[in-house]
Structures are given as structure tokens and as C-alpha cells.
């Protein structure tokens, strides 16, 4: 029996990167996947890939910072499937593309997309998950939500730290409703679309050598598998935890 048969999973930022890998894994495990993103063309490619593998996925445009968009996506999901079992708050932007660490607009953008986005997702998805009999929320934080890196904008660390502790608030708050809420903390992964210095191969090698005991970057699917575990019944008594997927970065 596949782990998400007859379940509906919403993955924000599911058109590209780790969200796309996660969406595909959910589909392979039987879920109906909602890819919620701004990148329609990329989402179409992901849907074709999933369909070719025998899975089911749809694209719904969503800007995670826009509350009207959240209201509308929930209406559409309720209309199409009548339920929602899993929310993955994955969409985000990098903090490594800014020259000025005092850039206020960068701070606001990072907080809005990386922290307010998951807050709004949780706010609007929880009622439908509860109506469906409970489920799981997995928030994608980062190693940067636990420790600092001097080479990225502080708004990235702050936004990912907010996601880390908001996860614990949500876990406590929604336990009685049957929603488990956990966070995943990827380490050095394939660069984000918005990455600056962290996309530079020389910089990446230096970081791997100095900070990652396993001496390699992670793969998108390795994060996706951790997300699926936390969203699945295999994690039925796990809520409020933070799971690093970082090759040992946070263990040093």
C-alpha cells in the first residue's frame, strides 16, 4: 500500500528544486499533488513528468505572500478534491544574492516570502486539513534557521528561524485537531534559483570542506524523502521536531 493513497498534498514552490522533487515523491506514493507556485511553465513540465510516471498532479498559481491567493487555492482544492491532508510550506528565496547585509528591502522580502508565506499557508490550510480528519504540515526551514552564516543576508536566518519556532507553536496548537507539524532543515543543497554566492562552485567546495562531515552536497530527493516521512503515518507520534538533512552540518 502506497503511503499517500487517496490523500491530497499541497506543495508550495513545487514547480522547481526541492519542492518539485518532493511533489514527485508524493505522487509516486499515491497522493494527488497540488503544485502551488508562480512558475506555470516549470509546473507544466513537472506535471508531465508525474503523469508519465502514472501519478496525478495539478498546478494552481499561488504567491505565498498573497492572502487572497491562499483563500482562492483552498476553495479550488476543496472544490476539486473535497479534502487536504498535507501542506508542505517549501517556497522560499535565498539570502545569498544580496551585496548589502543592511538592505532593508531584502530583509522585508525574505521575511515576507520565507516566514509570512508559511504563516499564511498554515492559517488557510489548517481548517481544510481539520475538516479532512487531520493530517500533517511540514515546514521547510534550513540549517540557517538554527545557526548563522556570515555570508548571507540576516533576513534569511531570521526568516528560517521564524519558521523553526512557528513550527513548534503550530505543533502545540494543532495537536488536538490531529495535525502534526514538523520542520525540515536542509543543509548545502543544489543552489536555489535566487542564490548568489552559494551557487559559486569554489565557495561551495570551501563550505563542504569546512562544515560538512559527509563532504558532499545533499540531493533534492534526500530532502523530499524526509518530508514524506514526517508527513506520513510512519511519523504518527512525531510533532514539533526539527529534522536536519544536512550531512552532519549541525552536528559540529
The closest of 97, 140, 112 to 228, measured between CA atoms, is: 140
Catalytic: 211?
Answer: no
Q: Is 16 in the site for ligand NAD (CB under 6 A)?
A: yes
- Which residues inside 162-181 make contact with ligand NAD, applying CB under 6 A? none
CB 117 within 8 A of CB 140: no
- Which residues inside 106-145 make contact with ligand NAD, applying CB under 6 A? 113, 140, 142
Among 19, 135, 155, 247, binds ligand NAD (CB under 6 A): 19
Q: In angstroms, give the least distance from the CB of 141 to ligand NAD.
A: 7
Q: Is 37 in the site for ligand NAD (CB under 6 A)?
A: yes
**Long-range contacts for 108-112 (Cβ within 8 Å, ≥24 apart)?**
108/155, 109/155, 110/153, 110/155, 110/156, 110/158, 110/159, 111/155, 111/158, 111/159, 111/162, 112/65
- Which residues inside 67-106 make contact with ligand NAD, applying CB under 6 A? 90-93
Q: In angstroms, give the least distance from the CB of 150 to ligand NAD.
A: 16
The closest of 225, 112, 132 to 174, measured between CA atoms, is: 132
C-alpha cell at 96: 545569498
Grid cell 519542492 is found at 19
Q: Is 38 in the site for ligand NAD (CB under 6 A)?
A: yes
Footprint of ligand NAD (CB under 6 A) = 12-13, 15-19, 37-39, 62-65, 90-93, 113, 140, 142, 186, 189-190, 192-194
Amino acid at each position: 500500500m502506497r503511503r499517500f493513497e487517496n490523500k491530497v498534498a499541497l506543495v508550495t514552490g513545487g514547480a522547481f528544486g526541492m519542492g518539485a522533487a518532493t511533489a514527485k515523491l508524493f505522487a509516486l506514493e499515491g497522493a494527488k499533488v497540488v503544485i502551488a507556485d508562480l512558475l506555470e511553465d516549470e509546473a507544466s513540465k513537472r506535471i508531465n513528468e508525474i503523469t508519465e510516471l502514472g501519478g496525478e498532479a495539478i498546478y494552481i498559481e499561488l504567491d505565498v505572500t498573497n492572502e487572497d491567493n491562499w483563500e482562492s487555492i483552498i476553495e479550488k482544492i476543496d472544490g476539486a478534491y473535497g479534502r487536504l491532508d498535507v501542506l508542505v510550506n517549501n517556497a522560499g528565496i535565498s539570502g545569498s544574492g544580496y551585496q548589502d547585509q543592511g538592505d532593508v528591502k531584502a530583509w522585508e522580502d525574505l521575511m515576507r516570502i520565507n516566514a509570512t508565506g508559511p504563516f499564511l499557508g498554515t492559517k488557510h490550510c489548517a481548517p481544510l486539513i481539520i475538516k479532512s480528519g487531520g493530517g500533517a504540515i511540514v515546514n521547510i526551514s534550513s540549517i540557517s534557521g538554527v545557526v548563522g552564516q556570515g555570508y548571507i543576508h540576516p533576513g534569511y536566518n531570521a526568516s528560517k528561524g521564524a519558521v523553526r519556532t512557528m513550527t513548534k507553536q503550530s505543533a502545540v496548537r494543532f495537536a488536538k485537531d490531529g495535525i502534526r507539524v514538523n520542520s525540515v532543515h536542509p543543509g548545502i543543497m543544489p543552489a536555489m534559483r535566487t542564490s548568489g554566492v552559494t551557487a559559486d562552485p569554489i565557495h561551495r567546495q570551501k563550505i563542504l570542506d569546512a562544515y560538512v562531515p559527509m563532504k558532499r552536497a545533499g540531493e533534492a530527493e534526500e530532502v523530499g524523502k524526509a518530508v514524506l516521512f514526517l508527513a506520513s503515518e510512519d511519523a504518527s507520534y512525531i510533532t514539533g521536531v526539527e529534522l536536519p538533512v544536512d550531512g552532519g552540518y549541525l552536528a559540529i
